[in-house]
């Protein structure tokens, strides 16, 4: 059941477009990491450009959402909550862009035996974001579902944290990786993990909005 109408529905349509754009940025980031791990630096750089473009598109959508909100959608007391939500969702794309730039600029040697672990971490961050996306979309239909999906996002972020930690441990324990590469991979993995962290931050805002809505 749709809970709003009129201007509010237009805002939700814009929010959904924003969510989809951020997801596309994450998908391009995954392609970047996979290409880099397979030694295809040229392809990885092309995907980096795609991530940059989609992050810019997401920024523009965020600004349009804010303009719509301050143009009269929702009650004044609710507008700040949705502005904050759009900012937090946007930070997911920012995190992906930052991770992409760090990997491409530093170009650490790829640890052959850890390719699957690194890509698995990327997949976990994407899964975490998708739970967030579903949670945000549920706000206009079923606040209880939004709360449930917010909790799922939190659980997935904790799983991603565990994958990040275990992958870092394997890298630092490896005798075949230089100290420089270990330090760079530590930074890259932290930034990849930030994608899931930012998704969890946004899910906390979804939870706040849903709780207020439910009263």
- Model confidence at 201, pLDDT cuts 50, 70, 90, reads very high
Distance between CA atoms of residues 16 and 26, nearest Å: 15
Q: Give me the percent of the chain exceeding a pLDDT of 70.
A: 94
The mean-pLDDT minimum among 58-72, 164-178, 180-194 falls in 58-72
pLDDT number for residue 12: 86
Is 43 within a domain?
yes
Distance between CA atoms of residues 51 and 86, nearest Å: 18
pLDDT number for residue 76: 65
- Model confidence at 11, pLDDT cuts 50, 70, 90, reads confident
For the chain, the distance separating the N- and C-terminal CA atoms, rounded to the nearest angstrom, is: 18
Is 205 within a domain?
yes
Model pLDDT for residues 36-75, shown as the tens digit of each residue: 999 999 999 999 999 999 999 999 999 999 888 887 766 6
Is 29 within a domain?
yes
Spatial contact of 146 and 208, defined as CB atoms under 8 Å apart: no
pLDDT number for residue 3: 47
The mean-pLDDT minimum among 7-11, 163-167, 172-176 falls in 7-11
Q: Give me the percent of the chain exceeding a pLDDT of 90.
A: 80
Count of domains for the chain? 1
Please determine, for residue 177, whether its predicted confidence score (pLDDT) is greater than 70. yes
Q: What is the CA radius of gyration of the chain?
A: 18
Is 91 within a domain?
yes
Please determine, for residue 9, whether its predicted confidence score (pLDDT) is greater than 80. no
Distance between CA atoms of residues 9 and 135, nearest Å: 16
Is 101 within a domain?
yes
Is 198 within a domain?
yes
Is 1 within a domain?
no
Model pLDDT for residues 95-136, shown as the tens digit of each residue: 999 999 999 999 999 989 999 999 999 999 999 999 999 999
Q: CATH number, domain at 15?
A: 1.20.58.220
Nearest CA to 175 among 120, 111, 131, 125?
111
Structural domain range at position 53: 7-214
Please determine, for residue 173, whether its predicted confidence score (pLDDT) is greater than 90. yes
Distance between CA atoms of residues 91 and 37, nearest Å: 25
Nearest CA to 55 among 29, 85, 82, 84?
29
pLDDT number for residue 138: 94
- Model confidence at 141, pLDDT cuts 50, 70, 90, reads confident
Is 2 within a domain?
no
């Amino acid at each position: 059941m749709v809970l709003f109408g009129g201007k509010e529905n237009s805002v939700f349509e814009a929010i959904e477009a924003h969510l989809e754009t951020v997801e596309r940025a994450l998908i391009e980031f995954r392609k970047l990491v996979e290409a880099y791990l397979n030694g295809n630096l040229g392809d990885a750089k092309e995907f980096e450009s795609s991530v940059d473009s989609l992050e810019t598109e997401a920024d523009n959508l965020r600004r349009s959402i804010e303009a719509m909100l301050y143009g009269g959608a929702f009650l004044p007391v609710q507008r700040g909550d949705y502005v904050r939500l759009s900012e937090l969702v946007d930070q997911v794309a920012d995190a992906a862009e930052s991770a992409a730039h760090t990997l491409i600029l530093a170009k650490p040697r790829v640890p052959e035996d850890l390719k699957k672990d690194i890509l698995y971490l990327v997949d976990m961050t994407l899964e975490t974001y998708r739970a967030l996306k579903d949670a945000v979309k549920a706000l206009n239909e079923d606040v209880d579902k939004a709360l449930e999906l917010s909790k799922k996002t939190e659980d997935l972020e904790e799983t991603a944290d565990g994958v990040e930690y275990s992958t870092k441990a394997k890298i630092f324990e490896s005798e075949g990786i230089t100290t420089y590469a270990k330090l760079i991979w530590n930074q890259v993995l932290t930034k990849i993990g930030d994608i899931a962290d930012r998704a969890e931050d946004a899910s906390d805002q979804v939870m706040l909005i849903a709780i207020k809505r439910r009263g």
